[in-house]
Amino acid sequence: MSRKPSVIVQVTKDAFLPDLPTAETRFRGNYGFSAGILLKGLTLIHACGTTSEVGNTYMSVPSLSNWWSRLSSNQGNGAGYTFAGFGASAGQGGALYPEVSPGGTGNTFNQVRWPQGATGEWKTPWWTVHNYLKYGGGAVVGAQNSSPFITDIVPMQVAFAGDADGLDQALYTFLNNDLLTNRGSDLQVILGATAKDAVPWDGSAGGGQPADRRVYTYGDKQIIPLGSNEDAESESGYITTPLTADLAGCMARTFRVAAPWASPAGFARGRILDVFRIPDPLTRAEQDELLSNNINPIIYFENQGHVLFGDLTSDRDGNNIPRTQLFIYLESQIGNIARSSLFEKNDIQTRQSFINRSTSILNTMKNRGAISTYTVACNGTNNTEAVVNAGEFVADVYIKPITGVEEIQLTFTNSSQSATYGA
C-alpha cells in the first residue's frame, strides 16, 4: 500500500540530557511574530476588511498603523454590506460603502470610513485586536473556518479569541481543540480561565494534543481610548477587553526584543499596556490559587504597574511557554532539514549531512543561551537494516534547555560597623 512521504517529529518530555557532572531577525525566518485572532462573527471583517478580505473571511493586519488606517480609509470593501448611520447627509456613524469606484457618483470618496471610531457590536473585538497589536506583533483576524485556522499555510505563533472567551462555546471549543489538530500543534493557544479557581484542560482531551500548547490567563482590563476621558467612558461604559490579548502581546514583545525561547513574564518583558482598571483584581491568595492551577495571573505592583507574573502552560510536567516555544522552533528548523533527506539513500553520507546541519543550528542556540548542551544521534544504531529496508530515517536529538530564574533568595546580615569584607 503506497503512502505519502512525510517527516514525523516527536518530542519526548523525558529526553533532556541529565545534568552533567560539575568539573526584534524572524521566527522561522526574522523573529516576526503573528497571532491568529478568532472571531465569533463576521461583523468586524465586514466593517474593516477589504473586498478580498471579506471574501476570504479573514484579514491580514501587519501593524497597529494598518489597523488604525482601516478606520480612516475612504475606501469601502465593495461587498455590499451596509451599517446603520452611514451617509454624509445623515451626519452619523460611518461613511457609505461606495457602490462605484471613488470619483463616481455620490460623495463617499472624500469621507473617512469610521469618523467616530469603532462602534456597535464590533467595538470590543476591534479594541481587543488593537490591544494586542500595541505590543508590536502582526495578526491574522478571521472566522474559525477561514484558511489560516484550518491549515498551517499562514505562519503564526499563538491564537486567541477576539471576543471574550466565554461568549461563544463553539469558538472556545474550536480554539481549545480543533485548531491544534488542524495546525499540527505548531502554535500555542491562549485561553481565558472562567474562574479564579478553574482547572485548565490537562491535555487528556482534545484529540490527544499536548497540554504544553495551551496557555491560560485570567481576567479583563478596562481602557480609556484616545480622545476620551474617565467621565465620558464611565457614562457610556468602559471598553473591556480580555487579558488573553495582552498575554499574546507580551509574547510578541519577547520575540521582538529577545528570542522565542525567552520568557514573556516579569518586569522586563511582561508589562501590561494601557490599563485603566482591572475590574476584578486579584488578592494574594487568588494569585497563588491561579498559579497552583497553571493559570498565569496579571498582578499589580506599586509604582510599577500591571505585570504578567507567570509563564506556565497547562502541562503539569514542568513545561512552560519558553520551553514549548523552543521545541516549536526546533521542530520547524530541524524538521525542514529532515525533509531534505526524503527520497535520498539512508546511508552514511545522508546521515552525516543531517547531523552537520542540525548541529549548526543547535550550536547557534547554545551560543544564544537557549540550551546548555545537546547530542544528535543518527547512525547504524537507530537506523538498523530493518529501518533502512522499510524506507525510514531515524534521528534522535537530545537537548538540555536552560531554565529561567523562578525564585530569588536574598540574605541580609546585620553586622557590626567595625566588620570588614573582602572585595
**How many domains in the chain?**
2
The reply to whether 280 and 387 lie within a common domain is no
Is residue 136 predicted with pLDDT exceeding 90?
yes
The reply to whether 64 and 182 lie within a common domain is yes
- The whole-chain average pLDDT of the chain stands at 80
Q: Does the residue 355 lie in any domain?
A: yes
The reply to whether 59 and 201 lie within a common domain is yes
List residues bridging with 141 in a β-sheet.
37, 59
**What pLDDT is stored for residue 269 in this prediction?**
94
The reply to whether 246 and 301 lie within a common domain is yes
**What pLDDT is stored for residue 117 in this prediction?**
81
The reply to whether 291 and 404 lie within a common domain is no
Q: pTM of the predicted model, to two decimals? A: 0.82
Q: Which CATH number covers residue 49?
A: 3.40.50
The reply to whether 194 and 280 lie within a common domain is yes
pLDDT band per the 50, 70, 90 thresholds, residue 185:
confident
pLDDT band per the 50, 70, 90 thresholds, residue 10:
low
Which domain-ending residue is among 308, 326, 354?
A: 308
The reply to whether 355 and 277 lie within a common domain is no
Which domain-ending residue is among 279, 308, 337?
A: 308
Q: Does the residue 87 lie in any domain?
A: no
Q: Does the residue 235 lie in any domain?
A: yes
Q: Does the residue 231 lie in any domain?
A: yes
Q: What is the residue range of 56's domain?
A: 34-73+112-308
The reply to whether 189 and 253 lie within a common domain is yes
Residue type, position 215, single letter: V
Record the cell numbers describing residue 174, joined without a space: 474550536
The reply to whether 53 and 177 lie within a common domain is yes
**What pLDDT is stored for residue 103 in this prediction?**
43
Which domain-ending residue is among 261, 293, 308?
A: 308
pLDDT band per the 50, 70, 90 thresholds, residue 99:
very low
For residues 41-55, give the mean pLDDT: 88
Q: How far is CA 70 from the centre of its chain?
A: 23
The reply to whether 250 and 169 lie within a common domain is yes
Q: Does the residue 221 lie in any domain?
A: yes
Record the cell numbers describing residue 33, joined without a space: 511574530
pLDDT band per the 50, 70, 90 thresholds, residue 27:
very low
Q: Which residue did the predictor score with more confidence, 316 or 192?
A: 192
Lowest mean pLDDT of 148-162, 163-177, 266-280, name the range.
Answer: 163-177
The reply to whether 171 and 63 lie within a common domain is yes
The reply to whether 51 and 131 lie within a common domain is yes
Q: Does the residue 81 lie in any domain?
A: no
Percent of the chain surpassing pLDDT 90: 41
Alpha-helical runs (H) found in 73-117: none
Q: Does the residue 21 lie in any domain?
A: no
**What pLDDT is stored for residue 194 in this prediction?**
81
pLDDT in tens, 297-336: 999 999 889 999 999 998 877 789 999 999 998 888 888 8
Q: Does the residue 298 lie in any domain?
A: yes
